[in-house]
């Protein structure tokens, strides 16, 4: 029998870790909790906790390490990097994906992010993805949240098609 899986966005990664740490006291014993965190948590936040000797957070990560998996990207950054690597190709694919030939991207879409890193990169990518969502919202009539959900689905599909990450293993690790 396949497991029932629920995805619950709880907030920032600290809140997620704290929830999963306390989950055994709140949920039935047969319930498993797994965590999927964005790549920047692994690359930046953990390094910052080590540098700052934040033993509380490091201890929480250590305690929950068997339950934590990391996405191959921070979604907004991954989407911007994907599209900006070949704007014309992705413009055409997104026209087909959203079934709307009116959709266009500027030739330099996302190029301003190439010199950024860390929180500045994430912030700029979030703005770009939101604006992209607004453009598609006006064309399709779908909400910006729904559009962004579909854009992230596009990122997952393209990541899988490009064999740039073993997403099947990641999902399997999260489910079982």
- Same-domain pairing of 88 and 138: yes
Residue 151 contacts residue 132 (beta carbons within 8 Å) = yes
Q: Identify whether residues 105 and 140 lie together within a single domain.
A: yes
26 falls within a domain: no
Taking the C-alpha atoms of residue 8 and residue 144, their distance in angstroms, rounded to an integer, is 19
Phi-psi region of 84 (alpha: psi -120 to 50; beta: other; left: phi over 0): alpha
Query: Residues 142, 144, 145, 150: what is their CA dihedral angle, to the nearest 10 degrees?
Result: 70
| Together in a domain, 53 and 79 | no
> How many domains, the chain?
2
Give the domain-ending residue among 70, 87, 117: 70
Domain co-membership, 80 together with 63 = no
Considering 45, 70, 95, which residue would you say is the last residue of a domain?
70
pLDDT digits (tens, 9 = 90+) for 92-117: 999 999 999 999 999 999 999 999 99
Q: Does residue 103 share a domain with residue 41? A: no
| pLDDT, position 8 | 83
Domain annotation covers residue 124: yes
Query: Do residues 114 and 99 share a domain?
Result: yes
Do 66 and 83 sit in the same domain of this protein? Answer: no
Same domain for 65 and 86, yes or no, is no
Residues 139, 103 contacting (CB under 8 angstroms): yes
Q: What is the pLDDT of residue 2?
A: 73
Residue 58: its pLDDT value, please? 97
Q: 66 with 143, same domain? A: no
* Binned average pLDDT, 10 residues per bin, the chain of 176 residues: 79 93 91 93 96 97 96 97 97 97 96 95 97 96 95 97 91 88
Distances (CA, A) of 70 to 21, 91, 104, 140: 17, 28, 32, 32
Structural domain span for residue 100 = 75-161
In sequence order, the β-bridge partners of residue 70 are 37
What pLDDT score was predicted for residue 11? 85
DSSP label at residue 72? S
- The beta-carbon contacts of 29-33 under 8 Å, at least 24 apart in sequence, are 32/3, 33/67
Measured CA to CA, the distance from residue 19 to residue 26 in angstroms comes to 9
Same domain as 105, residue 50: no
Looking at the fold, whether 79 and 138 belong to one and the same domain comes out as yes
Kindly report the pTM of this predicted structure: 0.91
Q: Are residues 79 and 155 in the same domain?
A: yes
Q: Is the dihedral angle over the CA atoms 114, 149, 75, 151 positive or is it negative?
A: negative
Q: What is the pLDDT of residue 5?
A: 81
DSSP, collapsed to helix, strand or coil, labels residue 115 as coil
């Amino acid at each position: 029998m396949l497991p029932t899986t629920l995805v619950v966005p709880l907030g920032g990664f600290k809140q997620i870790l704290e929830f999963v740490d306390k989950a055994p006291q709140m949920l039935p014993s047969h319930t498993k909790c797994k965590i999927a965190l964005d790549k920047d948590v692994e690359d930046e936040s953990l390094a910052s906790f080590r540098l700052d000797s934040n033993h509380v957070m490091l201890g929480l990560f250590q305690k929950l390490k068997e339950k934590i998996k990391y996405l191959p990207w921070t979604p907004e950054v991954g989407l911007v990097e994907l599209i900006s690597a070949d704007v014309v190709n992705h413009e055409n694919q997104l026209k087909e994906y959203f079934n709307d030939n009116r959709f266009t991207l500027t030739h330099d879409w996302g190029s301003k992010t190439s010199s950024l890193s860390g929180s500045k990169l994430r912030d700029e990518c979030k703005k770009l993805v939101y604006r992209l969502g607004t453009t598609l919202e006006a064309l399709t009539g779908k909400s910006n949240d729904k559009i962004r959900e579909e854009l992230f689905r596009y990122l997952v599909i393209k990541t899988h098609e490009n064999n740039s990450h073993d997403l099947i293993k990641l999902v399997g690790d999260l489910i079982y």
